[in-house]
A and B are shown apart, each in its own frame.
Chain A
Amino acid sequence: MEKPAPNRYDAVAVVLHWAMALGIFALIVVGLAMKHADIPKNRLFIYFQAHKSIGILILLLAVLRLVWRLAHRPPPLPFSMSALERGAAHAGHLLLYLFMFALPLTGWASVSTSPRNIPTVLFGAIPWPHISFLAELPDKAPVHAVVEALHKYGAYMLIVVLIGHIAFALRHAVKGDVPLSRMSLFGAGNKAK
């Protein structure tokens, strides 16, 4: 006999969601600041190191999250949503998963092909390698230009997708058909309903 469908994400999925949300928010703030704010040069090294450290952490968490997601059934979307809405929600979530991998990987590729060849030491403690086949290219400049552009425009696209993600989550919360308690860190919320 099958268990009834859950009405919320399990604890691991919830913790991963919010840990990554925090990390991605920090990455966007630090990333925008280091490219667009007038930061003193001596701070810039620290911003880059922080961005690289959190980015690799997100990549590792994304692997864990994907494995967990494939092995655990998420709560289904309500049938009050149209097939089109549900399809769009799944597509949006798929896109978010894509970004969770694509952005750290293009960032890592960018660091690996950088003409400045700056080593990565995660959180000031753990040495992290370059992607070796990229770092050993005889002419890294064209590859660097491509991965850097992918990282940059990918980040802008992610910001748009995230705004959509948050806006739709709030819209459904207000509407009441997909409560925020599905992903709440604080217990089941209005489970009794």
Chain B
Amino acid sequence: MKHVAFAAALAAFAPGPAGAAQWKILPGGALTFSGVQAGDKFSGRFSRFDGAISFDPDKLDEAKITIVVDMASAATGDRQRDAALPGSDWFDVAHFPQARFDSRKVVRAGAGYEAVGDLTLRGATREIRLPFTLTIDGAKAQAKGHVGLRREMFGIGQGDWASGEWIDLDVGVDFDIKAERTD
């Protein structure tokens, strides 16, 4: 059922405006997250995510990036933590099965780009700036980036977990994804 809902959410993507190159995310990419629990670092990955990307370095005005993440696919390799993550105190996947990023604009930044857009996580939408580097090689592309988030901005960690006492409020999200041009 979850997979059906996830596919439906992706199918609802409106393709970007004609003109900008269309890209399809290839399997094998990594979307990972990291945090600190009681002083110890941990990291995990989302095994299911997808997106719709319209991007042409020469037509940045028309760039549009949408990424959807299946929150139930998160795993950190620790059974106790992984049992807690989907619960209502954390990702609450029963109510918010997906996280979503919708870019509003993409600008050049340093050696790469920055996607400015809305990240919706656990039902809360906040604007974030997502820096990334991009290597385009013919019809293939690779994007890498890191963004630091404050989990309390999205209500991730409720009740006793709302403070940074046990789990730091700062979390990191890293991605290294490959895409293929489809148009």
Contacts and interface: CB of A to CB of B under 8 A. Distances in A.
Interface of A: 40-42, 44-45, 49, 115-121, 124-125, 127
Contact of B37 (A45, A49, A116): A45
A119 B39 contact: no
Interface of B: 37-40, 79-80, 83-84, 87-89, 159-161, 166
30 contacts: A40-B38, A40-B39, A41-B39, A41-B166, A42-B38, A42-B39, A42-B40, A45-B37, A45-B38, A45-B80, A49-B80, A115-B159, A115-B160, A116-B89, A116-B159, A116-B161, A117-B84, A117-B87, A117-B88, A117-B159, A119-B80, A119-B83, A119-B84, A119-B87, A120-B80, A121-B80, A124-B79, A124-B80, A125-B79, A127-B79
A135 to B, nearest CB: 11
A115 B162 CA distance: 12
A116 B160 contact: yes
A122 B105 CA distance: 48
A116 B157 CA distance: 10
A116 B8 CA distance: 34
A118 B38 contact: no
A42 B87 contact: no
Contact of A117 (B37, B79, B89): B89
Sorted nearest first, the 10 A-B pairs with minimum C-beta distance are A41-B38, A119-B83, A42-B38, A121-B79, A42-B40, A121-B80, A42-B39, A116-B160, A115-B160, A115-B159
Given A117-B87, A117-B89, A124-B80, 16 more contacts: A40-B38, A41-B38, A41-B166, A42-B38, A42-B39, A42-B40, A45-B37, A115-B159, A115-B160, A116-B161, A117-B84, A118-B80, A119-B84, A121-B80, A124-B79, A127-B79
